[in-house]
Amino acid sequence: MIVYVIAATTFSFPMERFLYLMRHAQSADKQPGQTDKERELTVQGLRDSIKVGAWLMNEKINPDAVVSSTAIRAKSTAGLLIDTLKLMPEMLRLNEELYDASVRTFLQEITQLEDSLNRVVCVGHNPTISYLAEYLTKAEIGDLPPGGLVVIQFDILLWQKIGEGSGKFIKVITPETL
């Protein structure tokens, strides 16, 4: 007779999740013949993206994913965060819908995240990023400056449960304050 013993494995999901909403860093003005999506970061924008990434690293914040708009300035900001944090390139998720997105569209992206992700950075554009931070936390954020990052904590098990006022405002980080 053969007896199989299967060890019981307990899986636990943290009840705490963090969302880092970031406005893309400073970008150049639109040039003749260039679309708005093609605008690139300025030298200051490049520096600021690295500075915010270094802050995340110093705080030992290791995102599980970085979600970004497909606009060049947002992709570049997200890419520099990934490089600075030494994350795998496949952790970057680009979404065309996040360019010129409404709060509702951005919220749909967040509520569809896999529940295995606990810390997610979303890089997008104003005014949506600022409005979304205020919607989720009911805190007064105001106009988030280029390269600004809002830290939000959620005491939830599932991303799909995120909604109006469900997040706790932790802090705003700006390149100027670092």
Over residues 84-120, the pLDDT tens digits come to 999 999 999 999 999 999 999 999 999 999 999 999 9
- With H, G, I as helix, E, B as strand and everything else as coil, classify residue 70: coil
**Count of residues making up the chain:** 178
CA 171 to chain centre: 14
CA distance 124 to 149: 11
CB 89 within 8 A of CB 78: no
DSSP string, 119-172: EEEEEE-TTHHHHHHHHHH-----SPPTT-EEEEEEE-S-GGG--TT-SEEEEE
Joined together, the tokens standing for residue 176 give 């100027």
pTM of the model: 0.91
CA distance 161 to 110: 10
Nearest to 131 by CA among 155, 105, 154: 105
Sort residue 124 into left (φ over 0), alpha (ψ -120 to 50) or beta.
beta
Domain boundaries, the chain: 24-123+136-177
Question: pLDDT (tens digit, 9 = 90+) per residue, 50-96?
Answer: 999 999 999 999 999 999 999 999 999 999 999 999 999 999 999 99
Q: Report, at the CATH architecture level, how domain 24-123+136-177 is classified.
A: 3-Layer(aba) Sandwich (3.40)
* CB contact burial 29-61 (16+ within 10 A = b; e otherwise): eeeeeeeebebebbeebbbbbbbbbebbeeeee
Question: pLDDT (tens digit, 9 = 90+) per residue, 137-165?
Answer: 999 999 999 999 999 999 998 999 999 99
Look up tokens 């990434």; give the residue. 53
**According to DSSP H, which parts of 20-153 are helical?**
43-58, 72-85, 103-111, 128-137
